[in-house]
Structure 1
Amino acid sequence: MAVYTEVNASQAGELAAALGLGEVLALRPISSGIENTNYFLTTSSGEWVLTLFERLRADQLPFYLHLMQHLARAGLPVPEPRGNPAGELVHSLGGKPAAVVNRLKGESLDAPDLHHCAQLGGVLARMHLAVESFPLHQPNLRDIDWREQAAPVVRPYLDDSAGALLDAEMAFQHHLAQSPAYRALPRGAVHADLFRDNAMFDGLPGREQLSGVFDFYFAGVDTFTYDIGVVINDWCVDLDTGRLDVARAEALLQAYQAVRPLAGDELRLLPGLRRAGALRFWLSRLGDWHLPRDASLLTPKPPLHFERVLRDCIEQPWHPAQ
């Protein structure tokens, strides 16, 4: 969890007034996330989430916020950013760019089952269809170019085994990215960080319904297959071992394909793009672990988990039926 920029009630009150949200009744830091500062904001008009962006610039934010607005207005369970009277979605607070979105009902799940994975697969496919009409474009900021820059920074902190794994995987991903099949994959604006703590379910135990998908601040244009791989690597993986739960993966992918069938190359390259997703999060966690930023609250996540996920992707690749 992280709070890099502390906000007081007076500051929040000024922003709430400017957005027509009424009186601030409560302001509470959110004990999750590692990239941005987040608060639950309760006002006389309802429940909101206030985000201050610690790395993203104000000129980068319209892509994310308009993407959320686009998906919410397409009927997907995505929080919608609150604009000011001029319709601007990017605000300023504490010297940082900021946004306010409506707070959705529900809670994140620590242990999703087949029922939850299937629901997520269907919503993910609907998101991928919905962005076909989204006009803005921004690259995935954690793409292969980012990996090329991040890898040499963390490489000195690795032992021989992990270093050899990193070197080999970087070479593999470079070759994959140059292939004609990869270059021809369908693309669009993807979430790129849809872990189980970025979705919520609401309802009675065993009958929960997916009620929210949030935290789009790693979104960017990339292949839809990569986005599926990122989701499978979290929702369908055992957290203690990093091994794939095939039953959960099949439930998620079958539900996805019931909405948006995958082309042959999308299925064929999914194992390699699962590896790309595992590599991306292993690198980012290595950076957060060995080179942490200053924050009043900060608990970086151990990088070993995604090293295990990557090894499992390589040693026991899952090839879904075509």
Structure 2
Amino acid sequence: MTAVLPSLSDAFGLGAVSDRRFLAHGLMNRNWRLVTAAGVFALKEITDVPLPKVRRNLAVLLDLAREGIPVPAPLSAANGDLVAEVGGHGYCVLPWVDGEHLQGTDLPLDQVRDLGALLGRLHEGLRRHGPGRVPEQAPVAKVRDVTEADRAAAALLSRLPSAPVTDFDKAAAEALHDRRRLLARYADARPDGEVPAGPYGWTHGDFQYRNLLRREGRVVGILDWDRLGVRPYGEEVARTAQVQFGVGGVFDLDRVAAFCTGYRSVIDLSEGDLADAVKRLWWKRLTDFWQLEFYLDRQDPAFGEMFLTDEALLNWWTDCADEVQAAYAAR
């Protein structure tokens, strides 16, 4: 960073940089907090997304910010580009937003309802300012079959030590054996078809507490737009509630209900549309192993912890499926 910082400062008109701090909590891209003559900014080195897609996504933020949706408006470089390419890497700069990341289970119910309503407002804003036309045909969501998922579980087991060396190795192996039993038991519960029910449009793609900054009881920054894309609205509602309120191996059903009530006060998703989205999300979690794959590929313990935590939630969710569906149906 030391080598490229002067060029980036010139490109974005930041002036002298008096303080630079690397933000180690990011899971994907690399980020820094910069104190400069022009103000305080977040600098992001783009590592996981093609630069044309990043430029497309950043342009959307300018329009959303003008509507009062709490997103940081990116800075333009001197040439008008929202991404500067220096030393073979792409970088963008956004205003620094002071706030904290709070898990959904730490929010009072009124703020949970407000969060659901904010997601609805965001979907409405993206309907007006998305980066392109929404396709006339509904997006297709691949529904993995049991045989493929079981093969994936077996392949992951083969990558773990045959005689577990660490507590994690033992826990991961037990979880994979349990998952294979669940797959066999619920093979007939596969969702019908690959076209989800309900309305669809541009969505954030990762609307969860790590990407939300809060201050004084409200969201002041919606961050990380790398996954902006066209999806069913129900999919984002279901996933957001799971990530925000599926903590410690269980769902906080009161907060799931409050969140969905807030969202449906803005966008009227039907109970059937939400039920379809929740079932598809459950099936995706049942047949997917991405956290463990990331852990084994990158040797990053954060992904190993995520795998075990989500495994506990999957088992609880499977046992309490009716209660979970009822919470998502709340108005």
Q: TM-score range, shorter-chain basis? A: 0.7 to 0.9
Verify the 8 A CA contact 1:63 1:137 in the aligned structure 2. no
Provide the TM-score with structure 1 as the length reference. 0.80
Displacement of 1:128 in angstroms is: 0.6
Tell me what 2:320 maps to: 316
Q: State the Cα distance separating 1:314 from its structure 2 match.
A: 2.7
Partner amino acid, structure 2, of 1:118 = R
Structure 1 unaligned spans of 5+: 1-6
Deviation at 1:196, TM superposition (A): 1.2
Alignment match, 1:284: 290
Deviation at 1:308, TM superposition (A): 2.3
- Report the number of matched residues: 297
Question: Deviation of residue 102 (structure 1)?
Answer: 1.3
- Structure 2 distance, partners of 1:167, 1:40, is 48
Q: CA RMSD in A?
A: 3.0
CA contact (8 A) 2:143 2:194 kept: no
C-alpha deviation, 1:77, in angstroms:
0.5
**Quick one: distance in 2 between partners of 1:171 and 1:46?**
57
- Provide, for residues 241-298 of structure 1, a one-character-per-residue CA deviation record: whole Å limited to 9, x for no partner: x211111111111111222221343233232144256469x6331122111179xxx7
Does structure 1 retain, via aligned residues, the 8 Å contact 2:46–2:91?
yes
Partner of 1:3: none
Aligned to 1:4: none
Give 1:135 shift. Answer: 3.7
Q: Which amino acid aligns with 1:244?
A: F
Q: Radius of gyration: which is bigger?
A: 2
Give 1:214's aligned residue. Answer: 223
The residue type equivalent to 1:124 in the other structure is L
Mapped contact 1:19–1:82 kept (Cα < 8 A):
yes
Q: Whole-Å Cα distance in 1 between the matches of residues 189 and 69 of structure 2?
A: 36
Structure 1 residue 138 displacement after superposition: 9.5
Aligned equivalent of 2:257: 250
Unaligned runs of 5+ in 2: 158-175
Correspondence for 2:209: 196
Measure, in 2, the Cα distance between the counterparts of 1:116 and 1:291.
38
Match of 1:300 among 299, 303, 310: 303
Give 2:161's aligned residue.
none
Name the SS for the 1:291 alignment partner.
helix
Change (3 A) 1:245 1:129: same
Deviation at 1:107, TM superposition (A): 0.8
Q: Is the contact between residue 84 and residue 92 of structure 2 (CA under 8 Å) also seen in structure 1?
A: yes
**Distance in 1 (alpha carbons) for counterparts of 2:80 and 2:180:** 49
Q: Percent identity?
A: 24
- Change in 2 beyond 3 A, CA 1:171/1:73: farther
1:122 counterpart letter in structure 2: A
- Counterpart CA distance in 1 for 2:38 and 2:240 is 34
Name the SS for the 1:300 alignment partner: helix
